[in-house]
């Protein structure tokens, strides 16, 4: 096959061409009523387009029927099939968006209502009677029936405002998109109370971006300076959120007796809220984390404004709690912690025994009542809490019954620690919804396509709901990843990775290799579930390794020592060691063993690439191991940890110490460069500042090194989704590892 033909084969797997290549991998179940849930079932039409049916399932016997009369809605929309893939159902009214318009469809009357899409600047209460919005740095409330407005706070001012999120990652991106500034609040279920905060960032230092391209619809070509607040670890002052509780009936605001929380972006109106209300609206609870990430507490806030701190845990290294890692979360809450509805019991996740376990506390006196989950069971996200029967449902990894310790199965245990059981025995990665006493569980592996099963709450099998259809993906040339394991640099720990062979694999040939790395220690990088899309919108599947396989490359992904999910001892290897890039040393150490397993690897043609923490890791790889890695592509890299925001960096380095932070500066290794290095950054990156890459470029120039560098003027942190970057990264590896060149340019193939 010619190089041009290989590029055409790779083109079929690019994100804009393969986005609909797998159907029914994510059925997205939602509660319909007290005895039903509904889900989406995707169908491929003869013309290749995708249509969706919405099906209702009984949680009594598992029987299935249409959620509504689809043909009627198609007629009202003047469509042959339903084009929307997301919807919500509330009180028999379906809401969805299509063609920049919002719609509601009454399932009873079959009446369709259309309205122009509006980006709200307020957050409505659950009962839709009132909304809260920001005006001149204060919080206001509007009665949705009368339109009457009421000011709730009076002393807000710039950089000392109520309900405004901190300006870290994404702030300028949202501003450029003209996203409305929403108040950061958390409504109580009964719509009477809401939690918010006053954000103090008066003394937080500024960071800058320069927009060099002209604004659409404007003749102005003068560069525009954008300023936002961003604290670095060496800074004394960081954004601090002082919690407040509001009673919308009395108009009272209670300033809560809680230590201010380090803030980075929205804290409450997010999929991982820093607080969670009880269903009866009698209290809201929160997990507090001190700056430096060595101490965390669980606090209950009552509606009269009183606060009770139930427990505090400290550690000598760092706490893997509320750190956006692979262990945290419960519904829309960022921590795997829980307060029972009677406010008598707290379930608290802790790694004090090395494994992540759930501990039970007396919420009234703070007594530690001991662990309720086994020691050889790593508790992940919580799924559901059944207070009536005293069951907690959760994901667990590290189980001896799985072939990979990272695989998460669905488990449950009584609040007193009795009757622990595994509810989903399939050997793979599980994602589950608990609805009306039924488990809707989707499981897969990198080498097995997803299947969604229905189970009773005790795990007993009912039936298969739907299996994914990946025929189109495989027809495009998708190479099924292979799982492998190797021994880490400590000589004893088993590490797990995946390898993707070239599409035209010949065992008698030698192939160049690409190591796709992510250097952040808050998560593991090796995918465990079936992967057919990027983990962030617009990115390539599997870090582009499927694309490169079509061009004759071997690709691998490996999790080294220092990543979470295997216990605190192994994760601690990253403590004060961000520059270790979550086990980069192991990537190099394990190469010989990997080659023994796969003798067709040509390690004299070894490349490495990654974005963000992976941009740091790939650069670190070619500078720290210049005789190992011959080519590196680094995008949006945080090359000096002293220049990244406090919220992430201090989690693992702790409070600023010059000697500890200094090794995290890639520029100090610039003199080591031997191979080919491509550095790319988005000029509008409001996560990792472009100055990170500019400083690296300066260091390489001062060392008189040959390298390649370009800026994407309109791009933010999501460089891997940029089509120009995808083309250039691909060409770079082809030119310098395959020693070939082409003028072929990727395009949409359909």
Residues 6+ positions from 63 with CB-CB distance below 8 Å: 57
Asked if residue 610 lies in contact with residue 634, where contact means CB atoms within 8 angstroms, the answer is yes
Report the alpha-carbon distance of residue 543 to residue 547 in Å, rounded.
9
Residues 519-557 as b/e (b if ≥16 CB within 10 A, e otherwise) read bbbbbbbbbbbbbbbbeeeebbbbbbbbbbbbbbbbbbb
CA angle in degrees (0–180, nearest 5) for 220-223-228: 125
Tokens of 166: 């901190």
Q: Phi, psi at residue 182, to the nearest 5°?
A: -90, 145
Instruction: Return the pLDDT at 218.
Output: 75
Report the alpha-carbon distance of residue 328 to residue 297 in Å, rounded.
15
Tokens of 121: 């600047």
Low-confidence ranges of the chain (pLDDT < 50): none
CA nearest 482: which of 591, 597, 383?
A: 597
Q: Give strand pairing partners of 606.
A: 513
Report the alpha-carbon distance of residue 166 to residue 181 in Å, rounded.
11
3-state secondary structure of 667: helix
CA angle in degrees (0–180, nearest 5) for 727-729-733: 115
CA nearest 296: which of 242, 335, 338, 240?
A: 335
605 sits in which H/E element: strand 601-611
Termini Cα distance of the chain: 22
Residues 6+ positions from 23 with CB-CB distance below 8 Å: 42, 43, 44, 50, 468, 469
Burial class (CB in 10 A: 0-12, 13-18, 19+), 209: buried
Domain limits of the chain? 3-16+472-738, 25-119
Q: Phi, psi at residue 580, to the nearest 5°?
A: -75, -10
Report the alpha-carbon distance of residue 510 to residue 305 in Å, rounded.
68
- pTM across the whole model: 0.96
Asked if residue 142 lies in contact with residue 128, where contact means CB atoms within 8 angstroms, the answer is no
Instruction: Return the pLDDT at 750.
Output: 57
Q: What is the 3-state secondary structure (H, E, C) of 368-433?
A: EEEECCCCCCEEEEEEEEECCCCEEEEEEECCCCCCCCCCCEEEEEECCCCCCEECCCCCCEEEEE
CA angle in degrees (0–180, nearest 5) for 51-55-56: 165
Longest dimension (CA), the chain: 79
Instruction: Return the pLDDT at 51.
Output: 87
Strand 149-151 relative to strand 138-143, pairing:
antiparallel
Report the alpha-carbon distance of residue 392 to residue 390 in Å, rounded.
7
Report the alpha-carbon distance of residue 585 to residue 561 in Å, rounded.
9
CA angle in degrees (0–180, nearest 5) for 717-12-473: 100
pLDDT, tens digit, for every residue of 233-263? 999 999 999 999 999 999 999 999 999 999 9
Instruction: Return the pLDDT at 736.
Output: 98
Instruction: Return the pLDDT at 85.
Output: 86
Return the number of other C-beta atoms located less than 10 Å from residue 106's C-beta: 14
Across 421-510, where does the E strand assignment appear? Answer: 421-422, 429-435, 438-445, 448-456, 461-467, 482-487, 494-500
Distance of CA 146 to the CA centre of its chain: 40
CA nearest 672: which of 691, 692, 696?
A: 696
Q: Give strand pairing partners of 101.
A: 98, 116
Q: Phi, psi at residue 123, to the nearest 5°?
A: -120, 120
Q: What is the CATH number of domain 3-16+472-738?
A: 3.40.50.1820
> Residue for token digits 């300066």?
698
Strand 36-44 relative to strand 50-58, pairing:
antiparallel
Asked if residue 349 lies in contact with residue 379, where contact means CB atoms within 8 angstroms, the answer is yes
């Amino acid at each position: 096959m010619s190089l041009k033909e290989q590029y055409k084969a790779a083109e079929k797997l690019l994100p804009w061409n393969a986005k609909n290549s797998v159907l029914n991998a994510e059925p997205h179940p939602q509660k319909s009523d007290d005895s039903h849930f509904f889900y989406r079932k995707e169908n491929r039409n003869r013309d290749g387009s995708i249509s969706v049916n919405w099906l209702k399932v009984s949680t009594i016997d598992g029987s299935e029927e249409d959620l509504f009369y689809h043909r009627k809605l198609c007629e009202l929309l003047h469509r042959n099939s339903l084009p929307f893939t997301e919807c919500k159902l509330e009180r028999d009214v379906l809401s969805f968006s299509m063609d920049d318009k919002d719609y509601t469809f009454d399932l009873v009357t079959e009446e369709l209502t259309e309205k122009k899409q509006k980006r709200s600047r307020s957050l409505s209460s659950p009962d839709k009677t009132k909304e809260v919005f920001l005006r001149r740095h204060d919080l206001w409330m509007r009665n949705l029936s009368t339109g009457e407005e009421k000011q709730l706070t009076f002393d807000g001012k710039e950089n000392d405002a109520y309900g405004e999120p901190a300006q870290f990652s994404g702030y300028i991106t949202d501003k450029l998109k003209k996203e409305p500034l929403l108040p950061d609040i958390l409504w109580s279920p009964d719509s009477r109370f809401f939690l918010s905060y006053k954000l103090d960032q008066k003394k937080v230092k500024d960071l800058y971006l320069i927009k060099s391209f002209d604004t659409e619809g404007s003749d102005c070509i003068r560069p525009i300076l954008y300023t936002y607040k961003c604290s670095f670890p060496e800074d004394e002052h960081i954004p601090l959120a002082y919690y407040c509780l509001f009673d919308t009936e009395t108009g009272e605001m209670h300033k809560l007796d809680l230590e201010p929380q380090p803030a980075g972006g929205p804290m409450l109106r997010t999929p991982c809220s820093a607080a969670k209300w009880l269903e009866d609206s009698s209290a809201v609870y929160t997990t507090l984390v001190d700056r430096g990430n060595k101490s965390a507490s669980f606090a209950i806030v009552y509606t009269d404004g009183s606060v009770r701190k139930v427990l505090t845990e400290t550690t000598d290294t760092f706490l893997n709690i509320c750190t956006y890692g692979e262990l945290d979360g419960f519904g829309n809450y960022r921590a795997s912690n829980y307060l029972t509805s009677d406010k008598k019991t707290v379930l608290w996740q802790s790694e004090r025994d090395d494994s992540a376990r759930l501990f039970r506390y007396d919420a009234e006196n703070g007594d530690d009542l001991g662990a309720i989950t086994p020691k050889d069971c790593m508790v992940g996200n919580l799924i559901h809490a059944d207070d009536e029967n005293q069951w907690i449902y959760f994901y667990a990894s590290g189980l001896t019954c799985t072939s990979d310790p990272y695989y998460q199965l669905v488990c449950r245990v009584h609040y007193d620690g009795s009757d622990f059981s595994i509810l989903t025995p399939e050997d793979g990665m599980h994602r589950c919804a608990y609805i009306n006493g039924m488990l809707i569980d989707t499981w897969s592996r990198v080498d097995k396509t997803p299947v969604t099963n229905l189970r009773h709450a005790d795990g007993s099998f009912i039936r298969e709901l739907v299996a994914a259809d990946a025929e189109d993906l495989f027809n495009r040339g998708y190479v099924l990843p292979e799982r492998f394991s190797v021994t880490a640099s400590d000589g004893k720990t088993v590490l797990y990775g995946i390898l993707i062979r070239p599409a035209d694999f010949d065992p008698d040939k030698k192939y160049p290799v690409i190591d796709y790395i992510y250097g952040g220690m808050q998560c593991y990088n090796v995918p465990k579930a079936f992967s057919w899309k990027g983990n962030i919108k617009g990115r390539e599947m599997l870090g582009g390794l499927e694309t490169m396989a079509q061009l004759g490359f071997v690709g691998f992904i490996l999790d080294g020592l220092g990543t979470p999910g295997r216990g605190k001892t192994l994760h601690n290897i990253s403590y004060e060691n961000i520059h270790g890039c979550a086990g980069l040393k192991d990537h190099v150490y394990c190469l010989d063993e990997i080659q023994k397993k796969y003798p067709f690897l040509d390690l004299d043609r070894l490349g490495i690439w990654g974005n963000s923490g992976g941009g740091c890791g790939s650069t670190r790889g070619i500078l720290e191991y210049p005789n190992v890695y011959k080519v590196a592509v680094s995008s949006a890299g945080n090359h000096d940890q002293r220049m990244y925001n406090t919220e992430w960096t201090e989690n693992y380095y702790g409070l600023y110490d010059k000697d500890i932070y200094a090794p995290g500066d890639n520029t100090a290794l610039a003199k080591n460069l031997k191979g080919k290095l491509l550095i790319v950054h988005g000029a509008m990156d409001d996560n990792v500042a472009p100055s990170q890459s500019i400083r690296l470029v300066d260091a390489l120039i001062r060392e008189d090194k040959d390298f390649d560098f370009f800026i994407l003027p309109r791009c933010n942190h999501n460089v891997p989704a940029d089509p120009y970057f995808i083309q250039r990264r691909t060409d770079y590896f082809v030119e310098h590892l395959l020693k070939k060149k082409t003028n072929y340019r990727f395009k949409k193939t359909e």
